[in-house]
Chains A and B, each alone.
Chain A
Amino acid sequence: MDRDIKISIRNLYKIFGPIPDVALAYVRRGMGKAELLEKHNHVLGLQDINVDIREGEITVIMGLSGSGKSTLIRHLNRLIEPTAGEIRVDGQDVLQFNEEQLRTLRRERMSMVFQKFALLPHKTVLENAGMALLVRGFSVEEFESEARKWLARVGLEGNENQYPHQLSGGMQQRVGIARALASNSPVMLMDEAFSALDPLIRSDMQDLLLELQDELHKTIVFITHDLDEALKLADHLVILKDGYIVQQGEPQEILMNANDPYIIDFISDINRARVLRVRSIMKKTTEAPADSAGDISERDNLESVIAMSEGDTERTYRVMRRDKQVGVLEMKDLVRALVPTEGAEAQERVQ
């Protein structure tokens, strides 16, 4: 199941201010963000970040505004230079790259989707989609078929000759995604890509992304401040707060075993039935249950199982992965899982 590590971030620090090196020494000795700002007037952006981003997975980095998530993603293609640390892509240290190597990395190995779309307003949708190829020196005629293909893939057939301002926000972001896909790079960085869209469109775009991912298996780093979005997309979830990682891991795992009040606070409001999936609460067994009420997929969320069971807590379901049984789910376990974690209860009692 474990895939190769595509990007590995080690001990990454970023401090904004006139003399970051001096401030770094204080931070290493344990000074916090607020104290650093007050005493030395430096802003601690990122603090000892260690993340492994695996090939073909969606890694979601989640945090509130100011938690450093946008700063972190910009380190991956060095739009921002780190103060200290190491970033390895396919084993190569990106920080040792010269300008030419860095340009090649940005052109061929990493593409990016932006929160505010950042399309070129004076170019047509087609030219925007082919921007990565245009940058590499191809002419419009040469990249036209490639750009058209990706535009069609994201559902923008027939809009090729329009200008970005003629499209709605959701359509503009589709162009942004087509632009990133057309570069044919294995890594896609998505910086709050859906945050500027309204909720319905956002959900559509998330589905589109998952659908594309099923097909293309890119390595995607996705930034968001929305927990529902994070849980929907993530294979690996990293939660940032004030520039450090609070918890990272499989999202269901974090949901079931949150280890920090900050995260418990975060997850207490969500609809657990919708985000929890069968595989995280089932009993792992290949033995068929005695009185199976039917088959469900391990990827189903609890909401759909409840709907299927018509509220009957006596039933038991067989859990399948690609036509093979991987476990058993009793409805009683399901109901129990809907109550927030013990940590959250403890927290509530304290309050």
Chain B
Amino acid sequence: MATYDFVFSSLGLEEWCNEGTSDAPMTMAALLKKTQGTESTPDSLWDLPFPSMDALNESCASFPKSRELTKGLEEGFLAIKDSLSIVLDPLTQPLSWFLDGALYGMLNTPWWIVIPLLLAVVFVVSKSWKLVAFVGVSLALLAFIDYYDYAMQTLAIIFVCAFLCVILGVPIGIAMSRSDMMQRLTIPVLDMLQTLPPFVYLIPLIFLFSVTESKLYGIAIILYAIVPVIRLTNLGIRLVDKDVIEAADAFGMTSRQKLYKVQIPLALPNIMAGVNQTIMMSLAMVVIASLVSAPGLGVLVLQGIRNLELGVGLVAGLGIVILAVILDRVTKASLARINASQKQ
């Protein structure tokens, strides 16, 4: 006898109940209960179970257990997986090429070319010798303790993913800013991407793509990091001074001219703030993505956890912090330069 027997008997469903037996896999708790043979109906109101799927299943064997729900989801996903892969595989293949190419390029170019090149880029975007010196010292430090290869792998992945985030995210943000409908449809998706725990992205991706392919972690990073650049592009364009837009209209600008000559330039500080956030989130995700074979400093952190190598984990963590500071400072410096050129 179970608590909710009366529900099924009052509905006249006893016959249907007796027909079926649940064939869902048994949970460990249920197994323990069975072996101990202490199945009993609670007799006080205090122990009344919530009418959950499992509780109802106890009264009626035909009623599905909750494990069957997750199992159904699994089977459904596996059923569409193959056809999904046919579409997604070629579509995402370029991502693998980009990532592999960037990793190959970064690691096979000698350090005395890569480091000066990075410093030159820093100077071009920030125009600050102080920052160049800081980045130079930080990279030299990482190289000195033999973490150069790992750091460069991490950087290569971030460059590719952040670049693709901007390429994809800015147009999406522009589309959102131009249509309220588009904004209404996109915002729930962005909210979901932002609140899903990062590990959860990895689960379906592992099923969809082979773990040996670099696009697996590439997609995880892009999905996680693309949100701020989309949001801030949309916000930036919507915040452009209404008077200036009106002036653009009054002088007969086409909507294309308005977009390229007024809206995007004036939204640039916000867009750049989004790019900064996107880069920082790529860095966070590239560490987690080491669980699915992303190379770089994250692998060392993982090694530190798995093998309890305290020193390796800590130094790798410090390396990540250094990279984070470098990336943040450089993007903020270029942001400040843009801001300075268009004070109102």
Taken together as a complex, chains A and B put the C-alpha atoms of A163 and B341 apart, in Å, by 8
- Does B246 reach chain A (CB closer than 8 Å)? yes
Question: Per-residue 0/1 for A111-137: is the Cβ within 8 Å of any B Cβ (1 yes, 0 no)?
Answer: 110101111111000000001101100
Chain B residues whose C-beta falls within 8 Å of the C-beta of A112 in the assembled complex: 247, 250-251
Closest CB-CB distance, A115 to chain B, in whole Å? 8
B344 interfacial by beta-carbon distance below 8 Å: yes
8 Å CB contact of B251 from A102, A107, A116: A107
B136 interface contact, C-beta 8 A: no
Closest residue on chain A to residue B245 by CB atoms: A118
B253 at the interface (CB under 8 A from A): yes
Choice from B250, B257, B266 contacting A121 with Cβ under 8 Å: B266
B252 touches A106 (CB 8 A): yes
What is the bound-complex CA distance between A79 and B253, given in angstroms? Answer: 12
**B255 nearest in chain A by CB position:** A99
> Does B243 lie within 8 Å of A165, measured CB to CB?
no
Residues of B within 8 A of A111 (CB): 250-251
Whether B244 is near chain A, meaning CB under 8 Å from some CB there, is: yes
Contacts of B34 in A (CB 8 A): none
Q: Which residue of B lies closest to A99 (CB)?
A: B254
- Which B residues lie within 8 Å of A117 (CB)? 243
Closest Cβ–Cβ distance, residue A174 to chain B (whole Å): 15
| B64 close to chain A: CB less than 8 A | no
What residues on A are CB-neighbors of B257 within 8 Å? 135
Let me know if A104 and B252 touch, CB within 8 A: yes
Chain B CB within 8 A of A183 CB: yes
Given the interface pairs A118-B246, A122-B266, the reply to whether A107 lies near B342 with Cβ below 8 Å is no
Say whether chain A's binding surface is mostly helix, strand, loop, or mixed: mixed
Given contacts A121-B343, A121-B344, A122-B265, A106 and B246 within 8 Å (CB-CB): no
The answer to whether B247 touches A118 (Cβ under 8 A) is yes
Q: Are A103 and B243 in contact (CB under 8 A)?
A: no
Hey, which chain B residues are within 8 Å of A121, CB to CB? 244, 266, 342-344
Q: B243: which A residues are within 8 A, CB to CB?
A: 114, 116-118
User: Which one of B246, B254, B265, B344 contacts A114 once the chains associate, using CB atoms below 8 Å?
Assistant: B246
Q: Which A residues between 137 and 157 are near B, CB-CB below 8 angstroms?
A: none
Q: Which chain A residue has the least Cβ–Cβ distance from B265?
A: A122
**Chain A residue at minimum C-beta to C-beta distance from B338:** A122
A77 touches B (CB below 8 Å): yes
What residues on A are CB-neighbors of B343 within 8 Å?
Answer: 121, 163, 165
* A107–B247 touching, CB < 8 Å: no
Contacts of A103 in B (CB 8 A): 252, 254
In the complex, are the beta carbons of B241 and A118 less than 8 A apart? Answer: yes
Q: Does B82 contact A (CB under 8 A)?
A: no
Q: Give Cα A17–Cα B149 distance, bound, in whole angstroms.
A: 64
Provide the residues of chain B in CB contact with A102, threshold 8 Å: 252
Q: Smallest Cβ distance from A138 to chain B, in angstroms?
A: 13
Interface centre among A102, A105, A135, by most chain B C-beta atoms within 10 angstroms, is A135
Choice from B244, B250, B261 contacting A77 with Cβ under 8 Å: B250
Count CB-based A-B contacts (< 8 Å): 66
Given contacts A120-B244, A135-B257, contact A165 B344 (CB under 8 A): yes
Residues of A within 8 Å of B254, CB to CB, are: 103
Name A183's contact: one of B244, B251, B262, B265 (CB within 8 Å): B251
Kindly state whether residue B249 has any CB partner on chain A within 8 Å: yes
CA gap between A131 and B247 in the complex, in Å: 10
B241 (CB) vs chain A CBs: closest residue: A118
Q: Are A122 and B341 in contact (CB under 8 A)?
A: yes
The distance in angstroms between the C-alpha atoms of A102 and B344, with both chains bound, is: 30
Task: Determine the chain A residues whose CB is within 8 A of the CB of B252 once the complex forms.
Answer: 102-108, 132, 135
Note all chain A residues with C-beta closer than 8 A to B247. Answer: 112, 114, 118-119
Q: What residues of A have a CB within 8 angstroms of the CB of B341 in the complex?
A: 122, 163
Are A120's CB and B262's CB within 8 A?
Answer: yes
What distance in Å separates the Cβ of B216 from its nearest Cβ neighbour in chain A? 41
Q: Which residues of B contact A165 (CB under 8 A)?
A: 342-344
A179 CB to nearest B CB, Å: 8
Complex CA gap A205/B42 in Å reads 90
Query: Which A residues lie within 8 Å of B266 (CB)?
Result: 120-122
Distance between A143 CB and nearest chain B CB, rounded to angstroms: 13
Q: A73 to chain B: closest CB distance in Å?
A: 10
Contacting A at CB under 8 A, from B230-256, are: 241, 243-244, 246-247, 249-254
Contact digits for A312-350, partner B, Cβ 8 Å, 1 yes 0 no: 000000000000000000000000000000000000000
Asked if residues A135 and B250 are in contact (CB atoms below 8 Å), the reply is: no
Output the nearest chain B residue to A117 by Cβ-Cβ distance. Answer: B243
C-alpha gap A195/B249 in the complex (Å): 22
Q: How far is the CA of A184 from the CA of B177 in the complex (A)?
A: 33
Of all chain A residues, the one with the shortest Cβ separation from B244 is A118
List the B residue with the shortest CB-CB distance to A132: B251
Complex-state Cα separation, A45 to B251, whole angstroms: 24
Q: Which of B246, B247, B253, B261 has the most CB of A within 10 A?
A: B247
Which residues in A have their C-beta under 8 angstroms from that of B262?
120
How far is the CB of A77 from the nearest CB of chain B, in Å? 6
Q: How far is the CB of A340 from chain B (nearest CB, A)?
A: 39
Most interface-central of A110, A112, A118, A189 (chain B CB within 10 A): A118
Task: Please measure, in the bound complex, the distance between the C-alpha atom of A150 and the C-alpha atom of B344, giving whole angstroms.
Answer: 23
User: Which residue of A is nearest B253, CB measured?
Assistant: A135
A237 to B269, CA, bound (A): 44
Residues of chain B within 8 A (CB-CB) of A108 are 252
Q: How far is the CA of A110 from the CA of B344 in the complex (A)?
A: 26
Would you give the 0/1 interface string for B332-343, flagging 1 where the beta carbon is closer than 8 Å to chain A?
000000000111
* Distance A116 CA – B249 CA, assembled complex (angstroms): 15
| A to B CB contacts below 8 Å, 18 in the list | A79-B249, A103-B252, A103-B254, A105-B252, A110-B250, A118-B243, A118-B247, A119-B247, A120-B244, A121-B244, A122-B265, A122-B341, A132-B251, A132-B252, A135-B251, A135-B253, A135-B257, A189-B250
Cβ-closest 10 pairs across A and B? A106-B252, A107-B252, A118-B247, A112-B250, A118-B243, A122-B342, A103-B252, A165-B343, A121-B342, A122-B265
Q: A114-B250, A121-B266 are in contact. List 11 more A-B contacts (CB 8 A).
A: A103-B252, A108-B252, A111-B251, A114-B243, A118-B241, A118-B246, A121-B344, A122-B341, A135-B253, A135-B257, A165-B343
Q: A interface vs B, CB < 8 Å?
A: 77, 79, 102-108, 110-112, 114, 116-122, 131-132, 134-135, 163, 165, 179, 183, 189
